[in-house]
């Protein structure tokens, strides 16, 4: 269970990272829209796990590896933005948020189930 302090700090990080990716994300991920879906912060506020969703890309693994390769640069830019709000700039680790893919897969399964012929109550007796 995250404390209020962790949740508040995670919200600040999410907002600032969103602006960084919106303004400067095209430098290392051209033609790709990056959305920060969730941020989890450790109790000591030193580590932040950032979950990203990518749009307009075919290879999410390559995209997340590219973002992780630029993690130091992104952390520096984040530090410049939150320097008056935080004592320590957290170490950033980026992960792919595959929630959309999971939802899509589940929708397809439910569609397949709905298309299958149903057995009537008379057949089962």
Q: What is the 3-state secondary structure (H, E, C) of the chain?
A: CCCHHHHHHHHHHHHHHHHHHHHHHHHCCCCCEEEEEEEEECCCCCEEEEEEEEECCCCHHHHHHHHHHCHHHHHHHHHHHHCCCCCCCCEEEEEECCHHHHHHHHHHHHHHHHHCCCCCHHHHC
Q: Which pLDDT tens digit goes with each residue over 54-63?
A: 888 888 889 9
Q: Which pLDDT tens digit goes with each residue over 105-117?
A: 888 888 888 888 7
Q: What is the CATH number of domain 4-98?
A: 3.30.300.20
pTM above 0.85, yes or no: no
């Amino acid at each position: 269970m995250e404390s209020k302090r962790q949740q508040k700090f995670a919200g600040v990080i999410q907002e600032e990272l969103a602006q960084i990716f919106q303004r400067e994300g095209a430098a290392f991920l051209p033609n790709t829209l990056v959305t920060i879906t969730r941020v989890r912060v450790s109790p000591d506020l030193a580590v932040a796990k950032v979950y990203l969703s990518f749009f307009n890309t075919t290879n999410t693994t390559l995209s997340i590896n590219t973002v992780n390769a630029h993690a130091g640069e992104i952390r520096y830019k984040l530090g410049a933005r939150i320097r008056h709000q935080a004592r320590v700039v957290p170490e950033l680790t980026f992960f792919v948020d595959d929630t959309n893919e999971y939802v899509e897969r589940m929708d397809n399964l439910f569609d397949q189930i709905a298309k299958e012929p149903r057995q009537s109550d008379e057949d089962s007796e």
